[in-house]
Amino acid sequence: MEAGKIHAFSCPASHCQKQVLTLPRRSPLVRNGERPRRQTRACRSLEIRHPAKVLRCIAAASVAVESPTRTRTAGHPLKVMIAGAPAAGKGTQCQKIVDKFGLVHISAGDLLRAEVSSGSEAGRKAESFMKQGNLVPNELVVEMVKNRLSQEDAQKSGWLLDGYPRSAEQAEAIQEAGIKPDVFILIDVSDDELVERVTGRRLDPETNTIYHMKFKPPPDDVVDRLIQRSDDTEDSLRNRLATHHKNVEAVVGYYKDMLVEVNGQRTMDEVFAEIDGVLSAFTEDESPAHQR
């Protein structure tokens, strides 16, 4: 292994040798002409904090890693897709990405509701299916997404497509429509961690404040009136997670060449630091936020 091909990584001790992932050929973190076989899940392109661990990590993976290189054309807006299970922290990371990189945040669910509320032709068609209790056809949602992505703000600033596509059929449909990201971020959190996050939630019906019995304990004077939402139970969540995992496994196959898995079992700032490192490798200070 050539020392000149070792890039700087930060590897938490708990992940350095135990957890590994396959990085894509076009990953901004790897550019040596070959797809690396193994790499630590939590590695990110920042300063070396644990040099010895890094060397052991790379040696165990038997790969040589070079400095990140952008794969998109200079001057073109950044296009990002992001996915994650319920309670994985995707919403928080989306806001941080928008704040840092100035991307236009687009959620298919919000887009669908907005079209229905506006009374547009697409919205009226979608509403007719929804009133009958049927799923809105993929081609109709794809058309909405495609139209939104073609608007001036998304074309100029770049876009962050949140939680879509959610199935192989949707992924194939938007790919046929010519919609393809520069990077697909998947926030990875274990099911047990997600269960702990969700089942500990409690809602104050008087103030609509959401507490967590472990991470954000409520004041003593409101505990007795707190309620648990019906979809915050373990059974309900595990059913949703089973559907999520099935869909994600089908979707990521369409984006394996730009897939970056991010360990979501850390603080919000640590998770974003990894995402920031990945996206910064593409933008090289071209984002609107950096130009201010």
Does the residue 168 lie in any domain?
yes
Same domain, 16 and 44: yes
Does the residue 289 lie in any domain?
no
pLDDT, tens only, 143-185: 889 889 999 999 999 999 998 998 888 899 889 888 999 999 9
Number of domains, the chain: 2
**What's the CA gap between 287 and 292, in Å, rounded?**
9
Higher pLDDT, 277 or 70: 277
pLDDT band at residue 49, thresholds of 50, 70 and 90?
Answer: very low
pLDDT score at 142: 87
pLDDT score at 72: 52
Does the residue 166 lie in any domain?
yes
Nearest to 43 by CA among 261, 249, 193: 261
Same domain, 47 and 165: no
Let me know: does 17 contact 57? Beta carbons within 8 Å.
yes
pLDDT band at residue 126, thresholds of 50, 70 and 90?
Answer: confident
Q: Does pLDDT of 18 surpass 90?
A: no
Mean pLDDT across 8-18: 39
Q: Does pLDDT of 36 surpass 70?
A: no
Same domain, 242 and 273: yes
Same domain, 35 and 99: no
pLDDT, tens only, 174-217: 898 889 999 999 999 999 999 999 999 999 999 999 999 999 99
> Which residues participate in catalysis according to the annotation?
90, 166, 201, 229, 240
Does the residue 292 lie in any domain?
no
pLDDT score at 288: 43
Mean pLDDT across 237-242: 93
Does the residue 23 lie in any domain?
yes
Give the residue numbers spanning the domain of 50.
3-61
> Computed from CA positions of residues 177, 30, 272, 97, in that sequence, does the dihedral angle turn out positive or negative?
negative
Q: Does pLDDT of 282 surpass 90?
A: no
